[in-house]
Amino acid sequence: MAANGNGEVAMNGNGAAPARKPKGLLPSITTSDKHHGVCHDMSAPTVKAQTIDELHSLQKKKSAPTTPIKGFQGTFAALSEEERQKQQLQSISASLASLTRETGPKVVRGDPASKNQTSPRVHQQHVAEPTISASDSSLKFTHVLYNLSPAELYEQAIHYEKGSFITSTGALATLSGAKTGRAPRDKRVVKDDVTGEELWWGKGSPNIEMDEHTFLVNRERAVDYLNSLDKVFVNDQFLNWDPENRIKVRIVSARAYHSLFMHNMCIRPTPEELEDFGTPDFTIYNAGQFPCNRYTHYMTSSTSIDLNLARREMVILGTQYAGEMKKGLFSVMHYLMPKRQILSLHSGCNMGKDGDVALFFGLSGTGKTTLSTDPNRYLIGDDEHCWTETGVSNIEGGCYAKCIDLSREKEPDIWNAIKFGTVLENVVFEEHTREVDYADKSVTENTRASYPIEYIPNAKIPCVGPHPKNVILLACDAFGVLPPVSKLNLAQTMYHFISGYTALVAGTEEGVKEPRATFSACFGAAFIMMHPTKYAAMLAEKMQKHGATGWLVNTGWSGGSYGSGNRIKLAYTRKIIDAIHSGNLLKAEYKKTEVFGLEIPTAVEGVPSEILDPVNTWSNKLGYKDTLMKLAGLFKNNFEIFTDHKIGKGSELTGEILAAGPNF
């Protein structure tokens, strides 16, 4: 039995009804709905399959993205499916081309473990036939698993990748290997004549330089590894929901887990968009299972994450942590977007029902995810955004949430998003029930969940919005001297944006009793490419042009530092954020604090007035003054690395930013 083009069932080989049974055999049971209204006919024509593999093949309906683009004849629109696949494979072959040899493996579509292989007519070599130096690699096929669905990637991961399991809620639990977090000291950027002038280098910069030759050596090593495999996974996807400024990315990886992760994190193309995808704007070669050569110039370990902005390529060796791909692409956007006069931001973003948009900046532990994921507002995105001439847009197509101590009560949206299609990294689960223990740190404290943004019920699709009205900078001040909320002028917004302050509470080490200040420029220093003042100036310009207000919100301690005071109640912080969204806080009366010169409201509905000025909550006034001066000194020391950079032709703006810092 087989399905025809109309979905009807052909009863035998020539499409006729089954032949009448010979005499002597039991007749088939007939329908007797005249008397009972129930069909008792359990007989059926024999399935047209001779083997179990043929039977399984009938489960799968052939499909391919061949729908023409409406109103436009794209690159593949006039081609047959075979020709379209040929061009697609040629493009992938070019991506996997070796730089030093004339030949490489042939690239073919499909899984080598499948019984039904793609026709050899689709096989394409990425270069002409060699005349000399033929290698064994030219004799083999590298099978391309192209833009597989989550279900297909589940099958690949569970079948071939040790440590991959389906949890009780349907998520794919997997392991990232020895590295369970990013390796910023092993991330390098090619320094050439262009990037040498454009990027931020030196003290405080996250950009560690390498030369073009070393990059090509690592690229060759990664491509060689990928080409040696029987199959590779290829994702063609987009970054940026703004259609005028989206970037086409191609991710070539060796693991189904990585392919599913990027399927979730990037914007997923429609079948029509895939047909006209063409050449990507940026390519990642993820050979993370294979180490770099430690004796190569610039290498300091067996891990290397390398960016070449001129070639628009990224190479990953020696780490399988999927977050390197996500943040690597974010770094690329931090370079490409400002060159288009578009501000790239490491922030959360949501929108009210009246169209008022708010940006949330904050380092780990400040409550950025909790406060930006508001059930009463639409979520535009949780981590990466662009501010263009038309408004704000999410860079990504998914969310990457921390899972440690996750609970249904505290984070219901994230909890409910962990279902089929979600990737769970490095979590611990019960062996029999597959129920995840989110409190277990046996593998790492940095457990993560990656899921499509549409898994959040109030996500705004497409993930775009109008110009922001409020820019909220979050700080968890464990010193307990910053006010719960302050209204900032433009210079103060730039100063605190460049500073990117929060404080870490005392850890598990003996003798550590005091908070530790942490500063991360633009609230994402590890990912910015240009000098922080470049992004700050763009932020101030857009805020001024579109009438946005800056706010500094302390989600940390009050009435004393960590250990003596108390953390500000989340309910109070939510009331403050609600007052910002509604516009009521703009109408409040304000007074100025000493040292930091912050404008603080005298009253906020639902918040005790006495906690709005931190000096009121300290019983030890001298201790408050000493701690305030200590924090101010830490701010000043941190900002020294930015003082030698001028914005534009003069230094007036730099001076204005410096004056907006603490004065004592």
> How many residues are given for the chain?
664
**Alpha-carbon span 176 to 320, nearest angstrom:** 5
One-letter amino acid for residue 483 of the chain: P
**Alpha-carbon span 484 to 519, nearest angstrom:** 19
Token pair of 532 as six digits: 């922080």
- Which position among 126, 187, 258, 368 bears the catalytic label? 368
Q: Please name which of 279, 287, 215, 202 lies closest in space to residue 248, comparing C-alpha atoms.
A: 279
448 is catalytic: yes
135 is catalytic: no
**Alpha-carbon span 250 to 264, nearest angstrom:** 14
Q: Please name which of 324, 243, 260 lies closest in space to residue 286, comparing C-alpha atoms.
A: 324
**Alpha-carbon span 255 to 157, nearest angstrom:** 7
- Which position among 119, 279, 364, 609 bears the catalytic label? 364
* Pairing assessment for the beta strands 464-465 and 392-394 based on DSSP bridges: antiparallel
Adjacent-strand bridge partners of 486 = 552
- Which position among 250, 334, 346, 531 bears the catalytic label? 346
**Alpha-carbon span 116 to 56, nearest angstrom:** 11
**Alpha-carbon span 574 to 371, nearest angstrom:** 7
346 is catalytic: yes
- Which position among 377, 448, 460, 581 bears the catalytic label? 448
The 8 Å CB, 24+ separation contacts for 541-548 are 542/343, 542/387, 542/467, 543/468, 543/471, 543/490, 543/493, 544/490, 546/467, 546/468, 547/469, 548/467, 548/468, 548/469, 548/470, 548/471
- Which position among 383, 388, 450, 581 bears the catalytic label? 383
Max intra-chain CA distance, the chain: 108
Token pair of 509 as six digits: 């080490």
What one-character DSSP code corresponds to residue 480?
Answer: S
What one-character DSSP code corresponds to residue 291?
Answer: -
Peptide bond before 462: cis, by omega within 30 degrees of 0?
yes
What is the 3-class SS of 388-453, one letter each residue? CCCCEEECCCEEEEECCCCCCCCCHHHHHHCCCCCEEECCEECCCCCCEECCCCCCCCCCEEEEEH
159 is catalytic: no
**Alpha-carbon span 5 to 274, nearest angstrom:** 24
327 is catalytic: yes
203 is catalytic: no
What values do phi and psi take at 258, rounded to 5?
-65, -35
**Alpha-carbon span 425 to 556, nearest angstrom:** 29
Q: What order of strands is seen across the sheet that includes strand 231-239?
A: 106-109, 141-146, 231-239, 247-253, 282-287, 313-317, 304-308, 187-190, 208-210
DSSP assignment of 628-661 equals HHHHHHHHHHHHGGGTT--SSSSSHHHHHHHHTS
**Alpha-carbon span 234 to 584, nearest angstrom:** 50
**Alpha-carbon span 319 to 322, nearest angstrom:** 8
- Which position among 182, 188, 263, 377 bears the catalytic label? 182
Catalytic residues: 182, 327, 346, 364, 368-369, 383, 448
